[in-house]
Amino acid sequence: MSIEISNESGHEVNETALLAVARNTLDEMGVNPMAELSLLLVDIGYMAELNHRWMEKTGPTDVLAFPMDELDADRGPGADEDGPEPTLLGDVVLCPEVAERQAKVAGHATGDELMLLTVHGILHLLGYDHAEPEEEREMFGLQNRLISAYRRSIGILAVADIPLKPTISDH
């Protein structure tokens, strides 16, 4: 599994933690180990530009996901019909400044919010959405289970600081 991270936000971020939660999420979701993912952290101005250009919304958002390859539901996320060639899942773009604001509102650490947003973005790359109430329940439930699984894997049992329904902005 290849995960690249690029922090162009100007904010100090625990890249190791984001890589770990991304890897754990992809493993838990059964994504092909040859898959490739990119995490990009950007400043608030660039995130506002991306949100306007691609989502036709004004202002910055917390996370955007740009899938690259179509997923084959019969063979699992990240599967490639040619065999061992890597599959490009896509890019997850995060805005630490928006995450920091949301973390304050939710009452948890910015690092926890960024981990939550990383999982959220990956789920979008894997085809999950939250446009409808049923989709939202499924996606946010899965997101919470994945965060809990990651936290257990690093020896943190309590997840009280991660809200059941996070403060994901309407992206």
Residue (of 140, 14, 127, 145) closest to 65 by Cα position: 127
Q: Is 11 annotated as a binding residue?
A: no
Residue 171 marked as a ligand binder: no
120 is in an annotated binding site: yes
Listed in sequence order, the residues at least 6 apart from 78 whose beta carbon sits closer than 8 Å to its beta carbon are 26, 31, 32, 34, 35, 71, 87, 89
**What own/partner pairs with CB < 8 Å and gap ≥ 24 does 141-150 have?**
143/116, 143/119, 146/24, 146/25, 146/28, 146/29, 146/119, 147/21, 147/115, 147/116, 147/119, 149/24, 149/28, 150/20, 150/21, 150/24, 150/25, 150/28, 150/115, 150/119
Which amino acids are annotated as binding site, given as ranges? 120, 124, 130
Which amino acids are annotated as binding site for Zn(2+), given as ranges? 120, 124, 130
